[in-house]
A and B are shown apart, each in its own frame.
Chain A
């Protein structure tokens, strides 16, 4: 069964850091572009970051640029999100997501269950 399992969430003070991890299984991880998508409590979905198969190209939403770093280790089958200088606005469930190629672009065909990050004093 194809699966994504996130870990690393928790409670952190404003200005603090957290490192999220995503462990894929059931598919060849190195063949897919991967994403982090977050959802603040009671709010909609927000794209956070993406990384291509090789890891050489990454992208970030403006809201996290300069504070978050996405990375992957294909040998270890893992995806990461290093989050620094966290603010209360970063409080959200963070989903690890697999992108699949469609006709024109990508869509998200596999989602993890998410890990909750709470930023609070």
Chain B
């Protein structure tokens, strides 16, 4: 079955840029969706279809996807961005939802 790989943690200082990656075989051929989960809360989609943002999500959140790596980039990081971030795709060979293991973003 298809697998997604995320680094367990990323740390960044306020105002800097955070890049959270999601690895998978030929992930560039899939649509990647990203979810933010703040402590004690339900996940919220922050990027869908690789790089689209739902209404209400700041432009600081952007996504890219090519080859074997997708990425969520958060510019001008704020304390409120501290959360777990999950990537998600569909395994088309075995129609199932696949989540990455999640990356904990720490704002120093």
Contact = CB atoms under 8 A, between A and B. Distances in A.
Interface of A: 35, 37, 44-47, 50, 59, 61, 95, 100, 102-109, 111-114
B31 A103 contact: yes
Interface residues on B, range: 20 to 34
Contacts of A102: 31, 33, 48-49, 52
A44 B86 contact: yes
Interface string B10-51: 000000000000000000001101010100011111001100
Contacts, number: 64
A59 B95 CA distance: 9
B90 interface: yes
The 3 closest A-B pairs by CB, nearest first: A47-B97, A107-B33, A111-B42
Contacts of A100: 48
Given A47-B97, A104-B90, A109 B45 contact: yes
Interface in B62-108: 84, 86, 88-90, 92, 95-102
